[in-house]
């Protein structure tokens, strides 16, 4: 299969925060943001694989900054590494200043998607070829994140997670 770049899957969704989507502090409800990120990431995984994709796991979410009611929120997702049938998708969330348009990074997350056929059976995806420094950095860290996710899901023995173990040996 011909490799694809992250820019070929990059998906950008911009929307406002409405009152029905906020918590008691009038900030965006965490579950609402998770859903927005899942949608953008699903489109990105679909663009990379040109297949039906399902969310296999949410590997990491950092709610660093609250997102107030009325904010203009941009969710940007792109495949950061592809394996045999699974893809890691990195998601960045930005808030846009209403008056000067300046964007502030609010949150980020990492999801894993699997490409499947019409019967739900995992199917092969193209490899990923990172281009920019950031894409290369995310690509390089992805294997240990996959191993951590598989170990936590009980699908890999900790002893077999060689990349992950190496991370702890280094320091
Ligand atoms: C995701 C799903 C297709 C995986 O099926 P499976 O039988 O475990 O398939 P496999 O063991 O062959 O795994 C397929 C790929 O997913 C990866 N994978 C599975 N679980 C994973 C996890 N928790 N974290 C990271 N990767 C995972 C495997 O490593 C494998 O990757 P690779 O082929 O690129 O090496 C299946 O569990 C499923 O359909 N789950 C429901 C998905 C869904 O409905 N999501 C929405 C939730 S509401």
Task: With cut-offs at 50, 70 and 90, classify the pLDDT of residue 171.
Answer: low
Q: Mean pLDDT in the chain? A: 95
Residues in the chain, overall count: 171
Answer yes or no: is the C-beta of 11 below 6 A from any ligand 1 atom: no
30 CA → ligand 1 middle, Å: 24
Q: Given strand 103-116, what is the order of strands in its sheet?
A: 11-16, 72-82, 86-96, 103-116, 52-63
- Confidence (pLDDT) at 33: 96
Taking alpha carbons only, the member of 44, 38, 36, 40 closest to residue 18 is: 36
Of 86, 148, 160, which is best to mutate to test ligand 1, by the most ligand atoms within 8 angstroms of its C-beta? 86
Helix axes 133-152, 162-170, angle to 10 degrees: 110
- Partners of 122 in the beta sheet? 116
**Mean per-residue pLDDT, 62-73:** 94
Q: Give the separation between CA 39 and CA 123, rounded to whole angstroms.
A: 20
Confidence at residue 170, expressed as pLDDT on a 0 to 100 scale: 62
**How many angstroms from the chain centroid is the CA of residue 164?**
19
CB-ligand 1 contact for 127 (6 Å cutoff):
no
* Residues contacting residue 73 through CB under 8 Å, at least 6 positions apart: 14, 15, 16, 17, 28, 33, 36, 67, 93, 94, 95, 96, 106
The helix (run of H) or strand (run of E) holding residue 168 is helix 162-170
16 conformational bin, left if phi > 0, alpha if psi -120 to 50, beta if neither: beta
pLDDT digits (tens, 9 = 90+) for 26-56: 999 999 999 999 999 999 999 999 999 999 9
Round to the nearest angstrom and report the end-to-end CA distance of the chain.
Answer: 37
- pLDDT above 80 (res 143): yes
What fold does the segment set 6-129 form as a domain? Thiol Ester Dehydrase; Chain A (3.10.129)
Q: Is-contact 116 135, C-beta < 8 A?
A: no
Residue 85 Cβ contacting ligand 1 at under 6 Å: yes
The Å distance, Cα 56 to ligand 1 centre, comes to: 5
CA dist., res. 57 & res. 55, Å (int): 6
Are 65 and 35 in contact, with CB atoms under 8 Å apart? no
Select from 1, 38, 114 the residue to mutate for testing ligand 1; criterion: most ligand atoms less than 8 Å from CB: 114
CA of 71 to the centre of ligand 1 (A): 34
> Would the pTM count as exceeding 0.75?
yes
């Amino acid at each position: 299969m011909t490799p694809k770049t992250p820019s070929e899957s990059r998906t950008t969704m911009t929307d406002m925060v409405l009152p029905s989507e906020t918590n008691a502090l009038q900030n965006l409800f965490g579950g609402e943001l998770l859903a927005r990120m899942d949608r953008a990431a699903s489109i990105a995984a679909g663009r990379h694989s040109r297949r039906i994709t399902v969310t296999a796991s949410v590997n990491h979410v950092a709610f660093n900054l609250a997102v107030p009611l009325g904010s203009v929120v941009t969710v940007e997702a792109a495949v950061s590494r592809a394996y045999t049938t699974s893809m890691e998708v990195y998601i960045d969330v930005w808030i846009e200043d209403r008056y000067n348009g300046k964007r502030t990074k609010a949150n980020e997350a990492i999801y894993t998607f699997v490409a499947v056929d019409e019967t739900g059976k995992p199917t092969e995806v193209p490899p990923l070829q990172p281009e920019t420094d950031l894409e290369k950095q995310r690509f390089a860290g992805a294997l240990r994140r996959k191993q951590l996710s598989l170990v936590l899901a009980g699908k890999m023995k900790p002893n077999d997670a060689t990349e992950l173990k190496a991370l702890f040996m280094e320091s």
